[in-house]
Structure formats: structure tokens, C-alpha cells
Amino acid sequence: MTMRLLHTYILYALSALLLNAQEMREWNITLLKQQNLGTWAVPAGNYSGITYLGGNEFAVVSDSEATDGFFTLTLQIDPITGSVLQAGRSAIKGAGLGNRDAEDIAYNPSTKTLFVVGEKDQKILGYNIDGTLTGRQVTVPQSLSSEAIYPNYGFESLAYSPAGDLLWTVTEHTLRADGRPSDATNAEGCKLRLQSFDGTTLKPVAQYAYITDTPTAHKLADHYAFGVSALTAMEDGSLLVLEREFYVAEKQVGSYVRNKIYRVIPALATPLSDQQSLSTLTHDQFMRKALVADFTTKLGVSGLTLANYEGMCLGPKLADGSQTLILISDSQNNYGNKLFHLKDYVKVIKIKE
């Protein structure tokens, strides 16, 4: 073994030991009350992804716009409490492409470019900060192509990690080759492939096996969506995974969305071959995950908090050093009626290590 390889191995081993120690240490988590973007006259949308640009600025995508692209969302966040004090949104920035069912967006601060993932075509395209295309596209492996997914269960999330210069994505639900879909009647977790890409070459790097919890619903729904809806990369290279279960009752009342945020550490997991079916793995061969937050929004007689959170990213750090985590919900353009309609919410979670 050369001195250079030995040095690299030692650094990797020390990094893994440090991450393993961090995994065992619990974070202090504070969930703030969700806030309606309509309070500040932010236009209704189908907000499905969010990424932090710095300062008070974020970029968001809406999956039902006429064209592909993104908006700039301004959130003035109280540096003490973490609450949103003011919000505003720009017009869409795009290059004239048709709707690709944009589900998430990620920002690379070193190149000042963004990537938008489309569920319709399973493509990840690069954008400049002004909305023009960079001409670059992530090389998606055949195992995650549009032919490999169940309908409407493709890419739902995207995150950029400066630690290692990696882009991360995962399908919302199990691939055809990896098993049957999970729903409220079969009580199976989604077996997923967490995929990384080199942030410079945009080529695939590694896949990791991830499994969600089993559904909490145990009866047929009028509408049901289950799986991973967002990813966020932490400064240390670990990832936050948002597992979302959206249950719509037949008469609407009793509908709920359960959100669980887990932390995983890819550096401590074993990569897998994209040719290996996840249906053959035992439970201990999937990534270890640690619960960070668990909350439910509801549509009930006594409460109307229902919110379908589809976007998640880091925000600014607060005065006490806490890291903010920003979630945004998809109201389906304020879907509903005069008595009740969905709202576009943002929710801030404070993380104190």
C-alpha cells in the first residue's frame, strides 16, 4: 500500500469513526408551528421542492407550472426564534421547456448553479441562477430510468452535499425490479435506492439500499401517497430523509399526512450493485437510520392543519447556533372549497447538536 493510499484510508477511517459517534448522539429538535405563505400574499402553487441560496433567499419548484423552471422565494427568518417574519415570491425563471413535473431542486454554491429533477422524464437538468439552462444533465443509470418506475412514483427529491461534492436523489417509491408498491393494505415498507452522483462530472457514484417504515394506515383510502418526498444534505455528509404518508379519507374528514424525518450516514453504509434486486435483501442490509422528527397534520372536526410537505432544505443558522430546517407544502394550488382548502405552508424545525 502506497503512503498516499494509506493516508487516504486513515482519513476515511477517522471520518467514519467520527460520524459513527455523531450518529449515537441525539440532537435537540424544536418543531415550530407551520406558517401559511398566503399570509404574505405569496401566490398559491404546487410547491414540491426547495433549496437554500443564502441570506433570505430560497429557490422553489412547483410541479404543475406550464414550463419547467423555478421561483425565488424570500423568507425573512427571525434570528432568535426561527419563525418566518415575512415572505415573497418572484415570477418563474425558466428556459421555455415544457412541464416536466418538477419535484425538487438543489443548489451548488461553488458553481452557483441549480439542478431540477423531473418525475415525468426522470431527468435532472442544470440551470443557471437566472433561469437559463447550463446545458448539463446528470447521467441517470438505467436502473432508475422512467421505464423502471411505477407510474407517478419516480424521482421526488434532490439534494447537493458540499461534503464530497455529491448530488443525491431517490425515487419516491419502490422500483418495479425491487418489489410491489406499498400501500394501506399490504403494510410493507418501500425498498429504495439512494443514488449519489459526482457534483462535477454528474456521473453516478454509488447506490445504497434504504427502506421506509411500514404504512400506518390499514384501510383503503380515497387517495393515498406513500414514500420519500424530500432529501436534505447536512454539513457532515449525512442525509435527512423525509418519509411522507398522505391518507385521504373517503369523506375527507379524517385525512392526515404523517411526516417522519430520518438521518442516514452513507459513509457508514455498504454500496450495492444497481443490478441487485432489493427484494433479496434482509432488513439489516438496508441503511441504518435514526429518527429526527415525527409529526402529523390533519383534517378533522377539531383541527384543519392538513399539509402535504414535499420540499425540505437547510436554512440559515440562528443566533444560538441552531441549524434551521425548512419544509414547504404542496397545496395543489389551494385545492378545496369555500369551507376548507389546502394552504401553502412553511414549517421551520430547529436542530441543536
pLDDT in the model for residue 250: 82
pLDDT at position 132 over 90:
yes
**Residue 300 confidence (pLDDT):** 80
Confidence (pLDDT) at 259: 97
* Lowest-pLDDT choice from 126-130, 219-223, 241-245, 343-347: 219-223
Average pLDDT over residues 317-346: 92
- pLDDT bucket at 187, cuts 50 / 70 / 90: confident
12 pLDDT higher than 80: no
Which residue type, as a one-letter code, is found at position 142? Q
User: Among candidates 26, 68, 79, 47, which has minimal Cα distance to 327?
Assistant: 47
How far CA 204 is from CA of 119, 136, 187, 207, in Å, comes to 18, 14, 32, 8
Q: What is the domain range of residue 62?
A: 3-352
* Cell, residue 95: 428556459
pLDDT interval class at 22 (50, 70, 90): low
pLDDT score recorded for residue 205? 97
pLDDT (tens digit, 9 = 90+) per residue, 42-71? 999 999 999 999 999 999 999 999 999 999
| Rg of the chain (C-alpha set) | 20
| CA–CA gap between residue 190 and residue 178 (Å, rounded) | 9
pLDDT at 19 over 60: no
Q: CA-to-CA distance for 330 and 102, rounded, in angstroms?
A: 12
DSSP code for 352: E
Higher pLDDT, 154 or 1: 154
CA gap 353, 270 in Å, rounded? 26
Nearest to 330 by CA among 339, 340, 338, 341: 341
Lowest-pLDDT range of 152-156, 195-199, 214-218? 214-218
Q: What is the CATH number of the domain that holds 241?
A: 2.115.10
| Beta pairing, strands 102-108 & 191-198 | unpaired
Determine phi and psi for 239, rounding to 5 degrees: -125, 145
Count CB neighbours of 268 within 10 A. 15
Residue 8 has pLDDT above 50, yes or no: no
Domain count, the chain: 1
